[in-house]
DNA sequence: ACAGAATTCAATAGAATTCTTGAATAGTCA
DNA sequence: TGACTATTCAAGAATTCTATTGAATTCTGT
């Protein structure tokens, strides 16, 4: 009897975890979660950004809600969805890391301007030190709304669109480290291309805003940020 | 042109990650992965343990293989599948943690004898210290094969079946911490019930063997284990 | 109260997944 | 070689998932 209960519980647990994973395991929903990990958004907004229809997006959001991944609040006519827990964002990053170490070919794609070039020479911690010492600049190239909603202390926010105009005030002696939504987003790569054409030293970081935020926070020498 | 490539890459990445997550997000496959994170096993073996048909298990294994989660080698007539990377095991643990913090009701199930009771009083690190100081005993109640394949240094292996007979040599003054495959397995709970009926102080740990192994390894005072 | 906006609902068609069955294959061991 | 074993293959039925459409709902602001 007791044993049966335990078995049932185990079954239930497997079920719950499987549902959770399969909730994430769908392209449209993954996109939505990726967007929400940057900033809260309305249904219409998410639909537009993910390129799906509104009704479809709404349905996916309802599933994500049911599975406990997102929360909602109302703002006038709209319903604003957000990630229910910050840990979901880091979990998805985790998933990307796993994909990286598992999938053999997927990231070998050609024209990526990443921190791979410098990865083995400089650790992200070193880079943050450089930024702190004003030898380098951390550039957040996401749009203003996202940068505002999940800000990275110590980073300069310059949305991709404005980067070429703002570059006039840049220094050729500094190194520019660009980041966007993280590994799955390529905005920063575009920014790097632009800056390099203009003759600056620019690299892309794969780390997500969230990761960077925490890395900066835990930097023992972070006093100069405050 | 370049921009399109980047967009395609992004799409591809979403796809890859979604496939990976949905590969994990299915009950039978999750079970298989959970089993494989303890020890390598043959198809027939996995089928039996997970309660699915052989053909079905074989098919799931093929999908897991295609998605890069498991590897195979032959041993006489059988094909022995194993987890392709240790990180997959910790990723799944991660997933379980996420489920824990997200799902509101799932773990409130009644008759669980867990380390919840002691969680807020003792951290797992303290428990390991107790074990080191011989005040407590760490009991691995998985079967011999699994315990042998993913051993935890410092733990005493006593499979559930043998626990009541082996308990004769136990001490009433010590605390017994039991663990099994981790959070999703309830063998340790059964063991706790048995030991308590016999009058011993027994608790279940939720941590997986892998986690415990690492915790013990990183214990600064681990010298006494060697 | 009413026009309009944002979202959800309901129904459906098409696609994909999962499990089952029974046969086919490949390899072992005597 | 030939019986046997473990696994895979192939085909199909049942189920579930996804995207689409257009209507219904709910709420805002006037």
Q: Hey, which residues 131-190 in chain A have their CB within 8 Å of chain B?
A: 183-186, 189-190
pLDDT at B110: 39
pLDDT at A111: 42
pLDDT at B163 over 70: yes
Minimal Cα–Cα distance from B22 to chain A, Å? 4
Distance (Å, rounded) from C-alpha A55 to C-alpha A50? 13
- Is the CB of residue B160 less than 8 Å from the CB of residue B192? no
Distance (Å, rounded) from C-alpha A147 to C-alpha A201? 23
Strand D–CB B26 distance below 7 A: no
Strand D–CB A103 distance below 7 A: no
* Ordered structural domains, chain A, with CATH: 2-88 (1.10.10.10), 111-225 (3.40.250.10)
Which nucleotide is closest to the Cα of B56 by its C1'? C19
Minimal Cα–Cα distance from B204 to chain A, Å? 14
Could you list the beta-strand ranges (E) of B101-209. 136-140, 156-157, 175-179, 201-204
pLDDT bin (cut points 50, 70, 90) of residue B218 is: confident
Q: Which nucleotides of C are covered by protein (CB under 7 A)?
A: 4-10, 17-23, 27-29
- Is the CB of residue A177 less than 8 Å from the CB of residue A139? yes
pLDDT at B49 over 70: yes
pLDDT at B63 over 90: yes
Residue A111 with chain B: CB contacts under 8 Å? 2, 5-6
Strand C–CB A58 distance below 7 A: yes
User: Using H for helix, E for strand and C for coil, what is the string for chain A?
Assistant: CHHHHHHHHHHHHHHHHHHHHHHHCCHHHHHHHHHHCCCCEEHHHHHHHHCCCHHHHHHHHHHHHHCCCEEEEEECCEEEEEECCHHHHHHHHHHHHHHHHHCCCHHHCCCCCCCHHHHCCCCHHHHHHHHHCCCEEEEECCCHHHHHHCCCCCCEECCHHHHHHHHHHCCCCCEEEEECCCCCCCHHHHHHHHHHHCCCEEEECCCCHHHHHHHHHCCCCHHHHC
Strand D–CB B222 distance below 7 A: no
Per the CB < 8 Å rule, is A91 touching B96? no
Strand D–CB A63 distance below 7 A: yes
B75's enclosing H/E stretch is strand B70-75
Strand D–CB A62 distance below 7 A: no
* Weakest mean pLDDT among B12-16, B65-69, B102-106: B102-106
pLDDT at B20: 94
Distance of CA B158 to the CA centre of its chain: 16
B15 contact A CB<8A: yes
pLDDT in tens, B3-41: 556 667 778 888 899 999 999 999 999 999 999 999 999
Q: Please report, rounded to a whole number, the percentage of residues in chain B having pLDDT higher than 70.
A: 85
Residue B116 neighbours by CB under 8 Å, 6+ apart = none
pLDDT at B1 over 90: no
pTM score over 0.75: yes
* Weakest mean pLDDT among A12-16, A58-62, B52-56, B172-176: A12-16
Q: Which of A2, A6, A97 to mutate to test the interface with B (most CBs of B within 10 A)?
A: A6
- Is the CB of residue A191 less than 8 Å from the CB of residue A141? yes
pLDDT in tens, B109-157: 434 555 556 555 678 888 999 999 999 999 999 999 999 999 999 999 9
Q: Which of B25, B85, B184 sits opposite A102 (nearest CB)?
A: B85
pLDDT at A120: 53
Q: Which nucleotides of D are covered by protein (CB under 7 A)?
A: 5-10, 17-23, 27-29
Which nucleotide is closest to the Cα of A62 by its C1'? C8
| Per-position pLDDT tens, chain A of length 226 | 455 566 677 788 888 999 999 999 999 999 999 999 999 999 999 999 999 999 999 999 999 999 999 999 998 899 999 999 989 999 999 998 888 878 765 455 434 545 555 555 678 888 999 999 999 999 999 999 999 999 999 999 999 999 999 999 999 999 999 999 998 888 999 999 999 999 999 999 989 999 999 999 875 554 433 3
């Amino acid at each position: 009897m007791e044993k049966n209960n335990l078995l049932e519980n185990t079954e239930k647990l497997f079920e719950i975890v499987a549902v959770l994973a399969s909730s994430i395991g769908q392209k449209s929903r993954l996109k939505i979660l990726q967007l929400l990990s940057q900033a809260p958004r309305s249904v219409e907004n998410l639909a537009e950004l993910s390129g799906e229809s509104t009704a479809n997006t709404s349905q996916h959001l309802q599933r994500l809600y049911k599975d406990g991944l997102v929360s909602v609040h109302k703002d006038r006519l709209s319903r604003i969805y957000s990630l229910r827990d910050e840990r979901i964002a880091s979990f998805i990053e985790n998933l990307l890391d796993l994909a990286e170490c598992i999938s053999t070919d997927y990231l070998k794609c050609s024209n990526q301007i990443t921190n791979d070039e410098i990865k083995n020479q400089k650790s992200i911690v070193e880079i943050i030190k450089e930024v702190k010492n004003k030898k380098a600049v951390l550039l957040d190239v996401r749009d203003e709304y996202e940068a505002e909603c999940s800000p990275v202390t110590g980073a300069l926010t310059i949305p991709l669109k404005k980067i070429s105009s703002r570059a006039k005030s840049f220094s050729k002696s500094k190194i520019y480290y660009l980041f966007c939504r993280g590994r799955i987003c390529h905005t920063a790569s575009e920014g790097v291309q632009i800056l390099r054409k203009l003759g600056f030293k620019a690299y892309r970081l794969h780390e997500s805003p969230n990761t960077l935020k925490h890395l900066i926070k835990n930097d023992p020498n972070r006093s100069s940020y405050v």
